Amino acid sequence: MSALLDGIAQRIGACAGEDAGVAAVFKFDAGQDGVLVLDTNAKPATFSTTDRPADCTMKIAAPFLMMAIDGRVPVGAAFMKFVRGVQGRPGLAVQIQPFLRKVAAKGRG
Amino acid sequence: MDTIAPQNPTANADRLDGFVQGFVRNAWYVCAQAREIEHAPLGRRILNTPVLLYRTNAGKVVALHDVCPHRYMPMSKGRLVGDNIRCTYHGSLFDEHGKCVEIPSQDSIPPKCFLKSYPVVERKNWVWIWLGDPAKADPSLIPSENYLGFGHEDYSTVDHKYRLVKGRYGLCNENLIDDTHISFLHLGQFESGNRVHTMPEVSQEGPWIKSRWFDPHEKISPFFHMLFDVDYEIAPRALVGHFHPPATHVVWIEMYNPKAPSERPRVLRVALAFTPETETTTHWFWAESRNFHQKDAAWDAFATDTSWAIQDQDFYAIEAIEALLQSGSALPEEVSFKADAGIMRARRVMNQIIREEQGQ
């Protein structure tokens, strides 16, 4: 796993206690950098960098995912520009965005 | 007010013959989002005319000329006294109809001491103003709110926003009518890039200039998978644009189920109004609605983020062209392509309306 993906995991992990508003398994597939799996079925949500099946998999490069969760690009705009493929239930990729906005807001302090 | 003075609006005048020149005055223009107008003065320049907007205590929208006839102080710098507006310079007080009701330094009121009043109509999210001949200000000429997507029972409004664009309104109109820029300026976001190879059908019905682009086998982008919540790889898809001269557009995307193409499509509908501020700047009003995932906050936020990001790219192009037009640089003769049929028709219609209004 890359240092960048590790940094993303830490940011998301810091918000694991937040209500995600949706219960599902999400996978961010960052190619050679690895994967980040977020499971919001659990309370609090769990996350891991071990690959496993997901309800929704989004292919997005790690630098672009970081841009979304550190607030440099609005989450929705980042998904539009940088998600290169969606597998599983595509609507979940929208439903997880409010949680990622919370991550971005927390990162901005 | 963030007004950008034109550097050199007449630069390259001989190269701009094809562009729409001048304003249509006898028309309804959006002057503000309803939520922008409060019980407080708001100054906004419309068709180069300073306009004062405010709400009375009863909530009625008032539109008056934003110039005190005494020493030309903008009335929007003043303050409301009940439903009247007092000039901040020498205290002249005008009522909601523009009639002067008090001059603190004298008892008599000169007959020419008044503010011109303009017809305004509030319809859902937008407030419309008529700066032309008031006798012709027929509210039925305003596109219906259902058509714009406001308040239609099958649609819920996503959001509505406003921005002042540093570009002439003709550039804004043409950006909306022009389909082929989508494959380049918005590369990879809207579609697979094949729009540029298929021409839209262009027609005219009454005042509306209509275009419809349809691909029965569109490769659906990841963005549209998310936005429309569909997993089709290939699907029938349409992009429809209706232009109501001089400044209103309704654009919508229809996403059909390839397994059941006769089903009602998922539709994302965008209404845009481009109101000239000056010859080279435009008030850009946007509102979006959809007929699926209604009143869903996650989709509202996603649609707003993405729609505004796409429009940022349009602003980038429009403002770059406007800066060049005003730079005084020598320009080559403008060339148009076959795909510009809608734009050319819109220019002809607009120029005809302006000529007729000017009595030419």
Band of the pLDDT at B3, cuts 50, 70, 90? very low
The strand pair at B49-55 and B93-94 is best described as unpaired
Nearest to B189 among A80, A91, A98 (CB): A80
Band of the pLDDT at B14, cuts 50, 70, 90? low
Q: Which domains does chain A have, with CATH numbers?
A: 3-108 (3.30.1050.10)
Nearest to B226 among A21, A86, A98 (CB): A86
| Residues with Cβ within 8 Å of residue A38, at least 6 apart in sequence | A12, A20, A25, A26, A27, A28, A45, A46, A47, A96
Q: CB B226 to CB A81 under 8 A?
A: no
Task: Work out the average pLDDT over B190-203.
Answer: 68
Distances (CA, A) of B155 to B148, B150, B239, B270, B274: 10, 7, 17, 11, 23
ipTM of the complex: 0.94
Any chain A CB within 8 A of the CB of B302? Answer: yes
Any chain A CB within 8 A of the CB of B101? Answer: no
Q: How far does B252 lie from chain A, in Å, by closest CA?
A: 18
Residue A13: its pLDDT value, please?
Answer: 86
Q: Which domains does chain B have, with CATH numbers?
A: 144-357 (3.90.380.10)
Nearest to B302 among A76, A85, A89 (CB): A76
Q: How many CB atoms lie within 10 A of CB B24?
A: 20
Rounded to the nearest 5 degrees, what angle is found at the Cα of B208, between the Cα atoms of B203 and B209?
A: 40
Band of the pLDDT at B154, cuts 50, 70, 90? confident
Place of tokens 């009522």: B95
Scan residues 195-234 of B and list those with Cβ closer than 8 Å to A: 222-223, 225-227, 229-231
Task: Work out the average pLDDT over A22-42.
Answer: 94
A31: which DSSP letter?
Answer: G
Distance, CA of B104 to CA of B107 (rounded, Å): 8
User: Which residue on chain B is closest to A99 by alpha carbon?
Assistant: B298
pLDDT above 70 (res B6):
no
Task: Work out the average pLDDT over A89-109.
Answer: 90
Q: CB A83 to CB B223 under 8 A?
A: yes
| Strands annotated E in A5-102 | 25-29, 35-39, 46-48, 56-59, 85-88
* Mean pLDDT estimate for chain A: 92
**B chain contacts of residue A95, beta-carbon cutoff 8 Å:** 298
Band of the pLDDT at B12, cuts 50, 70, 90? low
Residue B342: its pLDDT value, please?
Answer: 87
pLDDT above 80 (res B16):
no
pLDDT above 60 (res B302):
yes
Q: How far does A94 lie from chain B, in Å, by closest CA?
A: 6
Scan residues 35-94 of A and list those with Cβ closer than 8 Å to B: 59, 74-77, 79-81, 83-86, 89-91, 93-94
pLDDT above 80 (res B194):
no
Nearest to B309 among A59, A74, A89 (CB): A74
**A chain contacts of residue B230, beta-carbon cutoff 8 Å:** 90
Question: Residue B138 corresponds to which amino acid?
Answer: D
Tens of pLDDT, residues B51-73 = 999 999 999 999 999 999 999 99
Q: CB A75 to CB B305 under 8 A?
A: yes
Band of the pLDDT at B88, cuts 50, 70, 90? very high
Tens of pLDDT, residues A68-79 = 999 899 999 999
Tens of pLDDT, residues B173-185 = 999 988 888 888 8
* Selected residue with higher pLDDT from B240 and B198: B240
Residue B150: its pLDDT value, please?
Answer: 80
Q: Which of A33-37, B16-20, B289-293, B299-303 has the lowest mean pLDDT?
A: B16-20
Q: Which of B45-59, B73-87, B199-213, B237-251 has the lowest mean pLDDT?
A: B199-213
Looking at chain B, the whole-number percentage of residues with pLDDT higher than 70 is: 92
Q: CB B305 to CB A86 under 8 A?
A: no
Q: Which among B3-12, B310-319, B336-345 has the top mean pLDDT?
A: B310-319
Q: Which of B220, B305, B314 best probes binding to A when mutated, by most A CB atoms within 10 angstroms?
A: B305
Any chain A CB within 8 A of the CB of B243? Answer: no
pLDDT above 50 (res B268):
yes
**A chain contacts of residue B299, beta-carbon cutoff 8 Å:** 94
Residue A43: its pLDDT value, please?
Answer: 84
User: Which residue on chain A is closest to B301 by alpha carbon?
Assistant: A76
* Selected residue with higher pLDDT from B119 and B148: B119
Helix (H, G, I), strand (E, B) or coil at A88: strand
Q: How far does A81 lie from chain B, in Å, by closest CA?
A: 6
Least Cα distance to A94 among B171, B170, B128, B297 occurs for B297
Band of the pLDDT at B160, cuts 50, 70, 90? confident
A16: which DSSP letter?
Answer: T
Any chain A CB within 8 A of the CB of B89? Answer: no
Residue B1: its pLDDT value, please?
Answer: 38
Buried b (16+ CB within 10 A) or exposed e, B339-354: bbbbbebbbebbbebb
